[in-house]
């Protein structure tokens, strides 16, 4: 038995990759699950491997299931095909595609074959041996919050934030204008009272009061 060490790159950025150790007797279904775990993806969607070469050309598929599409050759099944059986050379390549709607694509390269005598057989394989770079978020920001975000989105209508905040702003503005109008009326009453008081005072006091309100209050 041997341990196969693969480097799995995210197609969009080769600086983001995961090293995964797999027993050569394990199946592609095990490898498939370990890739998703390594990149923190869920396991809800369709997936397939392609045999490949150094140019990343896609050959025969090792698929999660038989999908409703045209195949050049019948696909092999992940649960029935061992990883070791598909290793043709010491630099074997595969292409892995997950979630056909979004087409998450990963490039896989065999980088080391570890003999049984040199392997740590106490580990539970597959093993994620190395993580480099921050992987892509499967669902973006919403994926970080999960179902809670959906509840918040529905409650506050975040899908139409422009209208929501616009309407709320208009409502606040109306309230503010209403408040200002009320304040103006109160100030008007105060002015009338002040004028009556000023009439009772002498001319000098009236002039001083008028200068204060005209210059400083408003």
Q: Is 102 in the same domain as 186? A: no
pLDDT in tens, 60-85: 999 999 999 999 999 999 999 999 99
Q: Is 89 in the same domain as 165? A: no
Q: Is 131 in the same domain as 193? A: no
Q: How many domains does the chain have?
A: 2
Rounded to whole angstroms, the Cα distance separating 79 from 27 reads 6
Instruction: Kindly report the length of the chain.
Output: 218
pLDDT of 179 reads 52
Q: Is 129 in the same domain as 197? A: no
User: In which band, very low, low, confident or very high, does the pLDDT at 165 lie, cut at 50, 70 and 90?
Assistant: very low
Q: Is 76 in the same domain as 44? A: yes
pLDDT of 159 reads 46
What is the CATH classification number for the domain harbouring 81?
A: 3.10.290.30
For a pLDDT cut of 70, what percent of the chain falls above it? 64
Rounded to whole angstroms, the Cα distance separating 161 from 176 reads 22
pLDDT of 183 reads 55
Q: Is 200 in the same domain as 106? A: no
Domain of residue 212, residue span: 158-217
Q: Is 32 in the same domain as 100? A: yes
- What is the value of pTM for the model shown? 0.65
Q: Per-residue pLDDT for 104 more than 90?
A: yes
- Smallest CA-to-CA distance from 38 within 88, 100, 108, 86 is with 108
């Amino acid at each position: 038995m041997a341990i196969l060490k693969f480097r799995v790159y995210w197609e969009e950025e080769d600086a983001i990759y995961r090293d995964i150790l797999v027993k050569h007797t394990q199946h592609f279904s095990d490898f498939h699950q370990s890739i998703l775990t390594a990149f923190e993806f869920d396991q809800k969607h369709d997936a397939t491997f392609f045999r490949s070469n150094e140019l990343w050309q896609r050959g025969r598929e090792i698929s999660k299931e038989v999908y409703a599409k045209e195949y050049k050759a019948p696909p092999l099944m992940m649960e029935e095909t061992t990883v070791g059986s598909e290793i043709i050379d010491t630099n074997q390549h595969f292409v892995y595609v997950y979630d056909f709607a979004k087409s998450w694509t990963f490039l896989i390269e065999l980088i080391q074959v570890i003999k049984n005598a040199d392997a740590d057989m106490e580990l539970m394989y597959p093993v994620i041996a190395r993580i480099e770079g921050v992987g892509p978020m499967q669902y973006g920001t919403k994926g970080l919050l999960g179902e809670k975000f959906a509840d918040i989105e529905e409650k506050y209508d975040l899908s139409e934030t422009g209208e929501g905040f616009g309407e709320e702003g208009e409502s606040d503005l109306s309230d503010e204008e209403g408040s200002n109008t009320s304040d103006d009326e109160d100030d008007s009453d105060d002015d009338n009272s002040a004028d009556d008081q000023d009439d009772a005072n002498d001319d000098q006091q009236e002039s001083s009061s008028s200068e204060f309100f005209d210059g400083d209050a408003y």
